[in-house]
Chain A
């Protein structure tokens, strides 16, 4: 049932997400890349649920819920940072250091 292609797409999406987090400096873009990684994982869960059991599908709902909560908190933080620093470029947000 197309398990291989599904996992392949999931891997590609995840890698794209990681690459985005690593390479981009805009907080909003990074945030979206994180969402991409979460959804790549969701796709894996769903694909594998056909083989292993329904638990994977249940887990997808948890991930979605957490992602929603995270989006709320994350966007709020980005907004607050922007108000404070007038930028969302992560290179400029570096007060907390050793």
Chain B
């Protein structure tokens, strides 16, 4: 207890949970009460954001170096394991708290417009509130198990919201895919927790991080590497990195605001948060750091290549998200935790804006097609074109976000991306492997600029391909949707101010703010400094790459030549390979899913279950009992003589035992009685 507003931290998740409970009740009993749902759903989020701001400013006022921990009750007291239901506030949690509730509020507001005609409006907001609750538990939990509750909970909400329109099988399948793939990652998280407890005897963040350095000194280096690699396996699932990224593009089957909130701005960044939170552990395990950065860099490039050839506007953004998450992992894997978190924050702004913008576009397209009774795909960019004439606000705001993600100064994305690349390059001067990661990052930046410009060109520029009937119905979304876009546009544009580097005579506020969290890990990593001249060179290279990408897309792509989705010829060669996402889904299906299904069906089901369990186990037991009964019935011959013979033999055997022929000592019965049974036993 600090006696300040920080004590109110419990209120933020509690409000979201309250929203979930109330909205669920409405969803069950008054699904038509949309006004009440709106007030509750958006209201609790606004309240949580207010709490977040109050907590943040109060915490900043405290100037605390150590986290403020609130232990509410003892959750699992199993000595020596002691797990409390505890929340904590530190610099990192506070930033995440603001991002989650802030961006979350805007997206809730947007959803009011986007989902207003949906019959399951109340259920939607119930899930969304529940997601915010779990996300807050994730970022505020003071130990690994509490964080894991949030980690699993956001996975659950993700599943529920991806399959929100579960009447269509493809949506339900996408939800299942997300859940199952995430479970693989969660297994890594669980194993990591086991090893952490085994190695350090605690699961509280503070204890673990305090004991971790000695853990390495006593020859536990293998343990810390294992811990961090397993944790990173969890991250690859939740944050959609190679090899577990395949669920995220499919997650686009959910409502677009969900894609913006869960699958772009908040949940998928949980892995980045986890690495930043455990920066001490990752700093102790140099191999894991390299793995994190390497996988991040590879994922960034890989996803960016796929994004080049997608036609579904949301899928482009999904691959873009995977790619940008890869950037964040390059940052945190390099040890530049502040840079990674900085990119997390700016990405939350501009990617939420891009998704919500695409939501506005889809909304407009959908309504236009609905009005003309057309059954064209409302998300296919080949059916769009020239939308800027109908939706000028959305077009302008999405251009801001596009320039931000491409890394054009002075927009937010430029600073965060540049900081990650600079950190990777600086680390390269000490460990040359990082030059490779830097190179991959730079290549990704080029592709990012290219595919984002492609998206904008095909969507908003060139001739209209919706068809003349539908074109008349295209119009800007209502203000409840455009308003949040506007705010996010401002944040995307100026978000860089929270961490403008010294190079640009900024204060690098976020960097200093996070220092109490990151300094323990940073102290363990090799020092790497770049001269100002080198930094300016890197900036110049990055800007040149971004401009090349944009200009290249502008010159090379011809929206005029595009035909609508229905008339489009199939791709050939390399383009087809990219269009089909490098066939990764097919490869997974062939090498993992199908063998697994085959083993399950042919061996586990038809052999083990049907033959062994049902056949030998269940029916076998019955058959055995019947056989024994048959054997025993053979003794019932009906011949009294045999019965009598057996009877006499039995009596003689008993007499043999009782009277003492059986070798017992002192078991002879006297007229006074027989000795107790125990002394007669053999």
Listed in ascending order, the chain A residues whose CB lies under 8 Å from chain B are 18, 21-22, 25, 48, 52, 90-91, 93-98
Closest residue of chain B to A19 (Cβ to Cβ) is B648
Interface 9-mer from B270-278, B599-607, B629-637: B629-637
Question: Given A21-B644, A22-B645, A22-B648, A90 and B639 touching (CB < 8 A)?
Answer: yes
CB-based contact B641/A97 at 8 Å: no
User: B644, A98: Cβ atoms under 8 Å?
Assistant: no
A98–B635 Cα distance when bound, in Å, is 7
List the A side residues contacting B639 at CB < 8 Å.
90-91, 94, 97
Q: Which partner residue on chain A sits nearest B634 by CB separation?
A: A98
Q: Which residues of A have CB within 8 Å of B640?
A: 90, 93-94
* CB atoms of B638 and A25 under 8 A apart: no
Going nearest first, the 9 A-B pairs with the smallest beta carbon separation are: A98-B633, A98-B636, A97-B638, A94-B638, A90-B640, A97-B636, A97-B637, A96-B638, A21-B644
Verify B632–A98 contact, CB threshold 8 A: yes
Given the complex, which residues of B lie within 8 Å of A48, measured CB to CB? Answer: 671
Chain A residues with CB under 8 Å of B644's CB are 21-22
7 contacts between A and B (CB under 8 A): A18-B648, A22-B645, A93-B638, A94-B638, A97-B637, A98-B633, A98-B636
> Given the complex of chains A and B, what is the CA–CA distance between A94 and B644 in angstroms?
14
Question: A93: which B residues are within 8 A, CB to CB?
Answer: 638, 640
What are the interface flags for B172-190 relative to A under an 8 Å C-beta threshold, 1 for contact and 0 otherwise?
0000000000000000000
Which residues on the A side are within 8 Å of B641 (C-beta)?
22, 25, 90-91
A90–B641 Cα gap in the complex (Å)?
A: 8
User: How close is B628's CB to chain A, nearest CB, in angstroms?
Assistant: 13
Q: Tally chain B residues at the interface, Cβ within 8 Å.
A: 14
Interface centre among B636, B641, B644 (most CB of A within 10 A): B641
Minimum CB distance partner of A18 in chain B: B648
User: What's the least CB distance linking B395 to chain A, in Å?
Assistant: 92
A41 CB to nearest chain B CB (Å): 13
* Residues of chain B within 8 A of A96, CB atoms compared: 636, 638
* Interface hits, B600-658 → A, CB 8 Å: 632-641, 644-645, 648
CA distance A25 to B639 in the complex (A): 10
What residues of chain A lie closer than 8 Å to B633, measured between beta carbons? 98
* Bound CA–CA A55/B671 (angstroms): 13
Give the shortest distance, in Å, between B638 (CB) and chain A (any CB).
3
Q: Chain B residues with Cβ under 8 A from A94's Cβ?
A: 637-640
| Complex Cα gap A31–B635 (Å) | 24
Considering only CB atoms, which chain A residue lies closest to B630 in the complex?
Answer: A98
Q: How far is the CA of A90 from the CA of B637 in the complex (A)?
A: 12
B residues near A90, Cβ cutoff 8 Å: 639-641
- How far is B635's CA from A53's CA once the two chains are assembled, in angstroms? 43
Q: How far is B641's CA from A49's CA once the two chains are assembled, in angstroms?
A: 34
Mark contacts of B9-33 with chain A using CB atoms, 8 A cut-off: 1 yes-contact digit, 0 otherwise.
0000000000000000000000000
Chain B residues in 8 Å Cβ range of A98: 632-637
Residues of B within 8 A of A18 (CB): 648
**Contacting residues, chain A, for B634 (C-beta < 8 A):** 98
The answer for the CA separation of A25 and B638 in the assembled complex, in Å, is 14
Task: Tell me the complex Cα distance, A34–B143, Å.
Answer: 84
Q: How far is the CA of A90 from the CA of B642 in the complex (A)?
A: 11
Most chain A Cβ neighbours within 10 Å, of B634, B636, B638, B645: B638
A94 to B636, CA, bound (A): 10
B512 to chain A, nearest CB (A): 92
- Shortest distance between the CB of A76 and any CB in chain B (Å): 17
Task: List A contacts of B637 (CB < 8 A).
Answer: 94, 97-98
Bound-complex Cα distance A98 to B636 (A): 5
User: Once the chains bind, are A52 and B671 in contact (CB under 8 Å)?
Assistant: yes
**Closest CB in chain A relative to B653 CB, distance in Å:** 14
Known contacts A21-B644, A25-B641, A93-B638; 20 further A-B pairs (Cβ under 8 A): A18-B648, A21-B648, A22-B641, A22-B644, A22-B648, A48-B671, A90-B639, A91-B639, A93-B640, A94-B638, A94-B640, A96-B636, A97-B636, A97-B637, A97-B638, A98-B633, A98-B634, A98-B635, A98-B636, A98-B637
Q: Which residue of B lies closest to A25 (CB)?
A: B641
Q: Which residue of A lies closest to B636 (CB)?
A: A98
Q: In the complex, what distance in Å separates the CA atom of A48 from the CA atom of B636?
A: 39
Q: Shortest distance in angstroms between B646's beta carbon and chain A's nearest beta carbon?
A: 11
Q: How far is the CB of A84 from chain B (nearest CB, A)?
A: 15
Q: Taking the nearest CB of chain A, how far is it from the CB of B640, in angstroms? A: 5
B633 to chain A, nearest CB (A): 3
Shortest Cβ distance from residue A91 to the other chain B in the assembled complex, whole angstroms: 7
Instruction: Report Cα–Cα, A2/B378, bound state, in Å.
Output: 119
> Can you name the residue of chain A whose Cβ is closest to the Cβ of B635?
A98
The CA of A21 and the CA of B637, in the complex, are separated in Å by 18
Q: Which residue of B lies closest to A48 (CB)?
A: B671
Q: Closest residue to B644 on the A side, CB-wise? A: A21
Inter-chain CA distance A21–B635, complex, in Å, is 19
Q: Once the chains are docked, how many angstroms separate the CA of A94 from the CA of B637?
A: 7
**With a CB–CB cut-off of 8 A, which chain B residues contact A95?**
638
**Cα-based distance from A21 to B648 in the complex (angstroms):** 10
Cβ of B671: which chain A residues have Cβ within 8 Å of it?
A: 48, 52
CA distance A52 to B670 in the complex (A): 12
Chain A residues whose C-beta falls within 8 Å of the C-beta of B632 in the assembled complex: 98
The distance from the CB of A94 to the nearest CB of chain B, in whole angstroms, is: 3
Question: What chain A residues lie within 8 Å of B638 (beta carbons)?
Answer: 93-97
CA distance A53 to B326 in the complex (A): 103
Distance between B403 CB and nearest chain A CB, rounded to angstroms: 93
Q: Quick one: closest B residue to A53, CB to CB?
A: B671
In the bound assembly, the distance between CA atoms of A27 and B207 in angstroms comes to 91
Q: Which of chain A's residues has its CB closest to B651's CB?
A: A18
Complex Cα distance, B642 from A96, in Å, reads: 13
Nearest Cβ in chain B — how far from A19, in angstroms? Answer: 10
